[in-house]
Amino acid sequence: MNEEQRLHNSQVNEVKKTEKDYSQYFQSVYVAPSLKDAKQRGKEEIAYHKDFTIHPEFLGMGQGRKFFIRTFGCQMNEHDTEVMAGIFLQLGYTPTQNVQEANVILLNTCAIRENAENKVFGELGHYKKIKRDNPDVLIGVCGCMSQEESVVNKILKTYNQVDMIFGTHNIHRLPHILNEAYLSKEMVIEVWSKEGDVIESLPKVRRGEIKAWVNIMYGCDKFCTYCIVPYTRGKERSRRPEDIIQEIRQLAAQGYKEVTLLGQNVNAYGKDFDDLTYRLGDLMNDLRQIDMPRIRFTTSHPRDFDDHLIEVLSKRGNLVEHIHLPVQSGSSSMLKLMARKYNREQYMELVRKIKAAIPEVALTTDIIVGFPNETDEQFEETMSLYKEVGFEHAYTYIYSPREGTPAAKMEDNVPMAVKKHRLQRLNNLVNELSAKAMHAYDGEIVEVLVEGESKKNSAVLAGYTRTSKLVNFVGTPDIIGKLVLVKITNTKTWSLEGELIEVLSGQEVGVL
Ligand code: SAH
Ligand code: SF4
Ligand code: F3S
């Protein structure tokens, strides 16, 4: 953390303490990111704030104004957008889906690969005209890209239609940042490159009424050599179990049917607690007692996936039989270069244990092809591991160097044509095994959480099985949001079709 930022943070803390002197909030803000600072890991800097409140001064700020947020990237970003929407609503803004009529436009960005960043720059380019036509509109960039120095410098240089840039640690500061942007003629930049805090009681506008996301931890300490996330999201820090349990109880009371627990590496949950020994297995065991029909989690890192968690998951009930377990490569030497901290054998042993405990489990994964030095043989090891595990789906990516990461210093020496060819072969295998997994459902009766009408045909309903398979079947809209039993009559590569058998009352959930 640089001096300016340290000073700024201490001012913020002071304001929090005195609760009366808000004058410092109105000073012009300029705190730019630093990847070097973001890399630091210490213990002392994590602050735990129980209550988030909006200063009364800001409450009418959004009267007569509309906000629009475009979200890129992972579920964590989607969920951050729900929080920002919650803050906007408390400030009196109304949401709009139409960027043309928005008074505030936010881009919640993702930095994971170069093409993710290019999409954002492309979008920003479109906003030049909007700003020209209506100079009063505020345009903001937040999310993971804003944590990168190079991005902030590029925006400063070439995208002067942007009014504010704020980081992933600054979301709760949105009211102050907006206020600054209204007052200031300069671009407002507030990006803390700190390890991060845990802030409770943030408002949220959830996107749906059936499924909800719940953060259980933030940040990542794994520092896989290719990955930018530990720099953009800070240190691994867990929410207290009682706060998570309370949030999920509330969601159950509101009628939600499924919760996905979020974290970049949920298996490290609780490792940072000094005062209690409580890990993901313990949390899942407690969540089993809650009347929430389905609980999932993402993403799990193989490294911290312990036996207790497997044992708890094998009790099933509301804990579903789907585990997303990114492997990245089937070659132990690639895994070593990636600093994944497990090898092929250890990964396979974990898969064996999970399958022994939960034979019907659906395993899905993430894979990177064309990492520096990857040979044809090493890529073949990925192909063979994929088959050996029998993954039911995968997100596959061509390696993309990220500035500031250790891998970016390695020579990106696999030619693009070879990378593309490997990706194509892998995707063919992914499709083949997905179709095979789907085919196994033929004639089976599955539990489906009905989410809405099918995108292609409004007379058809769509929902997901416990193993995250899309199911389409004929039914009436009154069963949307309910759990039903469907008999599968036809299978495709990416979806299942079936006939409605029964609407479940809620008591029988998890019996299949
Ligand atoms: N925390 C998760 C992954 C989050 S990022 C985990 O470790 O399992 C989602 C996926 O993006 C990663 O699993 C990886 O496959 C991919 N990814 C991350 N950085 C990448 C890069 N520099 N180039 C290509 N793919 C990348
Ligand atoms: Fe990135 Fe690795 Fe952390 Fe996943 S575990 S977010 S791939 S550093
Ligand atoms: Fe992207 Fe940040 Fe998520 S880099 S994948 S939005 S944590």
Residue 39 to residue 147: CA distance in whole angstroms: 12
Answer whether 0.95 is exceeded by the pTM.
no
Q: Report which residue type is found at 143.
A: G
Q: For position 29, what pLDDT does the model report?
A: 61
Ligand sitting nearest the alpha carbon of 75:
3
Give the three-class secondary structure for 321: coil
Q: What is the largest CA-CA distance in the chain?
A: 67
Give the three-class secondary structure for 63: coil
Ligand sitting nearest the alpha carbon of 146:
3
Residue 41 to residue 230: CA distance in whole angstroms: 10
Neighbours of 395 (CB within 10 A): 12
Q: For position 508, what pLDDT does the model report?
A: 54
Tell whether 224 is in a known binding site. Answer: yes
Cis peptide before 299 (omega within 30 of 0): yes
Closest by CA to 189, choosing from 387, 34, 296, 370, is 34
Using a 6 Å cutoff on CB, does residue 76 contact ligand 3? yes
CA–centroid distance, residue 495 to ligand 2 (Å): 29
Strands 470-474 and 460-464: antiparallel
Q: For position 9, what pLDDT does the model report?
A: 43
Kindly provide the b/e burial profile for residues 302-315, where b requires at least 16 CB atoms within 10 angstroms of the residue's own CB: bbbbeeebbebbee
Ligand sitting nearest the alpha carbon of 223:
2
Kindly provide the b/e burial profile for residues 369-381, where b requires at least 16 CB atoms within 10 angstroms of the residue's own CB: bbbbebeeebbeb
- In tens digits, what is the pLDDT along the chain, a chain of 512 residues? 444 444 344 333 333 333 333 334 444 467 888 888 888 887 666 788 888 889 999 999 999 999 999 999 999 999 999 999 999 999 999 999 999 999 999 999 999 999 999 999 999 999 999 999 999 999 999 999 999 999 999 999 999 999 999 999 999 999 999 999 999 888 999 999 888 889 998 999 998 999 999 999 999 999 999 999 999 999 999 999 999 999 999 999 999 999 999 999 999 999 999 999 999 999 999 999 999 999 999 999 999 999 999 999 999 999 999 999 999 999 999 999 999 999 999 999 999 999 999 999 999 999 999 999 999 999 999 999 999 999 999 999 999 999 999 999 999 999 999 999 999 999 999 999 999 999 999 999 999 999 999 888 888 999 999 999 999 999 999 999 999 999 999 999 999 999 999 999 765 554 44
> Measured at the alpha carbon of residue 96, what is the angle toward residues 92 and 101, in degrees to the nearest 5?
100
* Ligand 2: lining residues by beta carbon, under 6 Å: 220, 222-224, 227, 229-230, 264-265, 301
CA–centroid distance, residue 229 to ligand 3 (Å): 6
Pull the structure tokens for residue 458: 């409004």
Q: For position 21, what pLDDT does the model report?
A: 38
Closest by CA to 394, choosing from 426, 419, 353, is 426
CA–centroid distance, residue 239 to ligand 3 (Å): 19
Using a 6 Å cutoff on CB, does residue 112 contact ligand 3? yes
Residue 452 to residue 88: CA distance in whole angstroms: 27
Q: For position 316, what pLDDT does the model report?
A: 95
- For residue 324, what are the β-bridge partners? 364
Q: For position 102, what pLDDT does the model report?
A: 97
Nearest ligand 1 atom, CA 407: 22
CB contact set of 379 (below 8 Å; sequence gap of 6+): 331, 369, 422
Nearest ligand 1 atom, CA 405: 22
Ligand sitting nearest the alpha carbon of 299:
1
Closest by CA to 170, choosing from 32, 65, 60, is 32
CA–centroid distance, residue 110 to ligand 3 (Å): 5
Residue 265 to residue 354: CA distance in whole angstroms: 18
Give the three-class secondary structure for 124: helix
Is the separation of the CB atoms in 236 and 265 below 8 Å?
yes
**Best mutation site among 39, 217, 223, 229 for ligand 2 pocket (most ligand atoms within 8 Å of CB):** 229
Q: For position 80, what pLDDT does the model report?
A: 96
Is the separation of the CB atoms in 264 and 272 below 8 Å?
no
Q: For position 509, what pLDDT does the model report?
A: 52
Q: What is the CA radius of gyration of the chain?
A: 24
Closest by CA to 317, choosing from 294, 298, 297, is 294
Domains of the chain and CATH, by start: 3-190 (3.40.50.12160), 213-439 (3.80.30.20), 445-508 (2.40.50.140)
Tell whether 142 is in a known binding site. Answer: no
CA–centroid distance, residue 301 to ligand 1 (Å): 11
Closest by CA to 146, choosing from 223, 80, 224, 51, is 80
Using a 6 Å cutoff on CB, does residue 73 contact ligand 3? yes
Q: For position 45, what pLDDT does the model report?
A: 67
Q: What is the 3-state secondary structure (H, E, C) of 183-194?
A: HCCCCEEECCCC
